[in-house]
Amino acid sequence: MAKVRHWASMLEGELPAILAMSERVVNIDSGSYLAAGVNAVIDVWADMLAGIGFTIERTPLADFGDQLTARLAIGGNGPRLLVFGHADTVWPAGVAAEWPFHRDGGRITGPGVGDMKTNVVMALHVLRGMLVEGAAKGLSSITVCIVPDEEIGSPGSRAWLEAEAQRADLCLTLEPCRPAGGVVIGRGAVGAAYVTATGVTAHCGAARDKGASAVAALAAMVPRLESLGDISAGLYATVGILRGGDARQVVPGWAEMHLDLRAPDDAAAERLLADVRRIVTAPPSDPRISVALRGGFTRPAFPTHAGTRELLALAESFGAELGEPVFGLVSRGGSDGSFAARLGVPTLDGLGPIAHETCSRRESVEVPSIVSRGAVLAGLIEATAEGALSRA
């Protein structure tokens, strides 16, 4: 059976190296649209993966960084393991200089420290330690996919990830572990819709009646859109951005609105998107205004399969052995793990260290959890290699 205490001891020894590499990559600006920064982070991880025997494939993604696929044939008769991570963050250029990696006692902080740069660094050290000791020899193969556009829904990476998932027997995803030990066994559907409006500019004083406000057209939709669905049921649309116009004294000739979409399952997602279309495409009260809608649900719902529950049971047992709680939960957040789970691949998510307040300036990681959650990850890989999963 998996020797999680041994892996915890190994990771305790590796902790200074893990923190040093985490500092290196956290201090690189790698927002989704900062391709050079994303690739600089991928360079670090690709070098480490190549150094432990993985074959590296890098595919440039237009407007983003590279898709990194790292493959290692183990040669056993066991399952094919797929690991998902991402190199991009939600943060624009300059944030790393304003808010660099910092350790304060038992916490580390910095842009993307928990979502998910430290997580990937932890996982790479887990893989290296296991391969050195031959603990993964029962696996057929290991494939690691590092995504450059995850924080905007992986629009350019979905087909690649689904193709890799179709060749896998299980998927372990490195989103952060939730405070108190929650790992993810299911997710709702997540989407993004973009609404643009074109009106007619005019001076607000001398020729107000000649203008047609694009901002007013979209603003009128906000309360109707945000009243859709039921937040308590996980079904809703949220207007995150509404902007437009060129000057205070000019009737706005353009406007745009960005909507975040959430639904508990794929059927509810289709209904919500239909309701959004009905509101957005209704004829404007002023015929001089035109409105267009693009986007939709980018991530399908993440169903909880029997194989996922088997993975959870293993993770719970490893956590208990370490004296650290592990429990399953269903999240409303998005993850690339949804692409594998939707295809019927047993998938467990939230396998990074424990993180707090991700995607905020207060984002932090509990340093001791790098050791304990890394040991749980190692235990899952080792147990899978030993044939612990009936569906693998």
Contact 155, 299 (CB under 8 A): no
In this prediction, residues 32-42 reach a mean pLDDT of 98
Structure confidence at residue 2 (pLDDT) = 77
pLDDT tier for residue 389 given thresholds of 50, 70 and 90: confident
Contact 221, 163 (CB under 8 A): no
Is the pLDDT reported for residue 22 higher than 60? yes
Is the pLDDT reported for residue 391 higher than 60? no
DSSP symbol at 283: P
Structure confidence at residue 185 (pLDDT) = 97
Counting residues of the chain whose pLDDT is more than 70, the rounded percentage is 99
Structure confidence at residue 1 (pLDDT) = 63
> Average per-residue pLDDT in the chain?
96
Q: Which of 249, 278, 299 lies at the terminal end of a domain, its last residue?
A: 299
In this prediction, residues 78-90 reach a mean pLDDT of 97
Same domain, 289 and 306: no
Counting residues of the chain whose pLDDT is more than 90, the rounded percentage is 96
Structure confidence at residue 321 (pLDDT) = 96
Structure confidence at residue 33 (pLDDT) = 96
In this prediction, residues 171-186 reach a mean pLDDT of 97
Q: Please check whether residue 228 lies inside any domain of the structure.
A: yes
In this prediction, residues 19-46 reach a mean pLDDT of 98
Contact 135, 379 (CB under 8 A): no
Structure confidence at residue 261 (pLDDT) = 96
- Name residue, tokens 């995803």: 173
DSSP symbol at 209: G
What is the domain extent for residue 108? Answer: 4-188+302-385
Is the pLDDT reported for residue 132 higher than 50? yes
Alpha-carbon gap, residue 148 to 317, rounded angstroms: 33
Same domain, 179 and 147: yes
Q: Which of 299, 320, 339 lies at the terminal end of a domain, its last residue?
A: 299
Same domain, 278 and 306: no
Dump pLDDT digits (tens) for 284-327: 999 999 999 999 999 999 999 999 999 999 999 999 999 999 99
Q: Please check whether residue 336 lies inside any domain of the structure.
A: yes
Q: Please check whether residue 75 lies inside any domain of the structure.
A: yes
Q: Please check whether residue 392 lies inside any domain of the structure.
A: no
Dump pLDDT digits (tens) for 45-65: 999 999 999 999 999 999 999
Contact 3, 382 (CB under 8 A): yes
- Number of domains into which the chain is organized: 2
Alpha-carbon gap, residue 392 to 376, rounded angstroms: 18
pLDDT tier for residue 392 given thresholds of 50, 70 and 90: very low
Q: Which of 254, 277, 299 lies at the terminal end of a domain, its last residue?
A: 299
